Structure 1
Amino acid sequence: MRPIIGITTYEMPASWGVWRDLPTTFVPTDYPAAVTLAGGRAVLLPPDDLDADVLRALDGLVLAGGPDISPRLYGAEPGMHTATHPERDQAEIRLVHAALDSDLPVLGVCRGMQLLVAAAGGSLHQHLPDVLGHQRHRPGPGAYGRHEAVFTPGSRIAGLMGEDLTINCFHHQGVADPGELIVTGRAEDGLPEAVEDPGRRFLLGVQWHPEVGRDKRIFGALVAAAERS
């Protein structure tokens, strides 16, 4: 049986066919496709803040990208550029803490990495152009920024990426303090792009979007860890 990998989802208005602005639960197909290609069975998780019991049915968890996380998760007030989805924050931070408590294999992508940082006691820069003086991490609507990353030798992400150092980003917030996690990848401007906890079975956060290229290395590592659950 393939490992069952839960993927967190968006809950936003969407339009298709004759329907317009219908409240919808969804996630880009790249996420479940990447899990399937890596040998897992993808299951989509709508926001649900009542409990985290669903984790008992899962072998691994993907925290998908999406809107800004609430700065209140790391003890700050929202800035003028921060737009949050409180219902998703409440549901996902509950999942994160429960997954960490049970040492469930977890991959955080973009927003998902930022959730891991918040859960680990870290914090974020709420608007990178104010800190870095450029917009190369989110160059324009629907346009990924491309960076050459530097990975820490001997880290999990360095072993997975090998000589491939190019990453594709779309985010305007970034890690200021990783908390209890270890930064193992940075963009050329020094911004953290990967965090992990080598003391856990599999806990990896990447600020870029490996699902877009169906990156079998990263999703395959998650599925492999989930097989040993």
Structure 2
Amino acid sequence: MSRPVLVLTHAPHEGPGLITRALDELPHRIRTVLDTPDPRLPSLDELGGLVVMGGPMDADDAGHPGLAAERRLLAEAVDADVPVLGVCLGMQILALALGGELHRRNGTEIGFAPVEVVHDDPLLAPLGAAPTVLHWHDDAVALPPGATLLARSATTPVQAFRAGSAVGLQFHVEIDRTLLDLWLTTPVMVDDLADGDADLIRTQGAHHLPGLVPAAVAGLSTFADAVRARG
């Protein structure tokens, strides 16, 4: 049996969603170490892969001491060629772990909008050249040294990157209808939206998700394949 994938979360409503579906029968564990000063994280030889999910905090927020432990584990995982996937906040933590910079309040992107895919990568290939995906962020990162830019938008120059065994995605390929409905009924997610924005995002989701979900699962399955290859 493959070694388990560790999924690190930062908010109860921001779970792995479609990533779990793509992992299929692969074992995985979900943990939250956000506010633990010295969390006992598994050693890399115990892990088949590492996934770091989103959350509302800043990636360098010293008020959440567990983030420093996540950065250390991410840097070690990339050095050890362990398959890594970072999503939204997870992508920003990954970028910091690899020597990139965080740009706070770079520009708000919330809702479904296209990104431009600028480099072929197995994880993004099923989405197409200009997929419409879900955004929910206002921070951004600079491309880490040595990383390859995979996707961009006008507001966010680094929407996705690859660095060795790791892929970072600023947008949310893990979203399905159930997870989107959860977000749109979670006060911390919607309280700052303008009137009508939640209804608009729900309508956008009904239009885009039927095509986006199978493409996202196909791309995420390449991450699962990398975990299987690690054994």
**Secondary structure at the counterpart of residue 225 of structure 1:** helix
Match of 1:69 in 2: 59
Distance, in Å, in 2 between the alignment partners of 1:224 and 1:32 is 18
Is 164-173 or 40-49 further displaced after alignment?
40-49
Match of 2:5 in 1: 5
Per the TM alignment, residue 167 of structure 1 is displaced from its structure 2 partner at its CA by 1.4
| Contact kept in structure 2, 1:150 and 1:187, CA below 8 Å | yes
Matched AA of 1:107: L
Within the candidate set 77, 80, 83, 1:99 is matched to 77
Against the structure 1 CA distance between its residues 28 and 191, is the aligned structure 2 distance closer, same or farther, given a 3 Å change threshold? same
TM-score by length of 1: 0.71
Within the candidate set 1, 4, 29, 1:43 is matched to 29
Query: Do residues 221 (structure 1) and 184 (structure 2) align?
Result: no
Distance, in Å, in 2 between the alignment partners of 1:156 and 1:36 is 17
Query: Do residues 148 (structure 1) and 114 (structure 2) align?
Result: yes
1:4-41 residue CA offsets vs partner (Å, 9 max, x unmatched): 21100227xxxxxxxxxxxxxx4634x16532443232
Query: Do residues 173 (structure 1) and 173 (structure 2) align?
Result: no
**Secondary structure at the counterpart of residue 192 of structure 1:** coil
Match of 1:74 in 2: none
- Alignment RMSD, CA only? 2.5
Greater share of residues in strand: 1
1:192-227 residue CA offsets vs partner (Å, 9 max, x unmatched): 110102xx3x31100011111363123211110000
Greater share of residues in helix: 2
| Contact kept in structure 1, 2:125 and 2:219, CA below 8 Å | no
Within the candidate set 115, 123, 136, 2:93 is matched to 115
Per the TM alignment, residue 59 of structure 1 is displaced from its structure 2 partner at its CA by 0.4
Per the TM alignment, residue 157 of structure 1 is displaced from its structure 2 partner at its CA by 4.4
Against the structure 1 CA distance between its residues 184 and 27, is the aligned structure 2 distance closer, same or farther, given a 3 Å change threshold? same
Match of 1:58 in 2: 47
| Contact kept in structure 1, 2:143 and 2:149, CA below 8 Å | no
Segments of structure 1 that go 5 or more residues without pairing to the other structure are 12-25, 71-82, 130-134, 139-144
Distance, in Å, in 1 between the alignment partners of 2:120 and 2:97 is 25
Matched AA of 2:160: A
Match of 1:210 in 2: 173
Within the candidate set 14, 23, 28, 1:28 is matched to 14
Distance, in Å, in 2 between the alignment partners of 1:37 and 1:157 is 11
Identity of aligned residues (%): 25
Against the structure 1 CA distance between its residues 85 and 169, is the aligned structure 2 distance closer, same or farther, given a 3 Å change threshold? farther
1:20-66 residue CA offsets vs partner (Å, 9 max, x unmatched): xxxxxx4634x165324432322012315355434332201101111
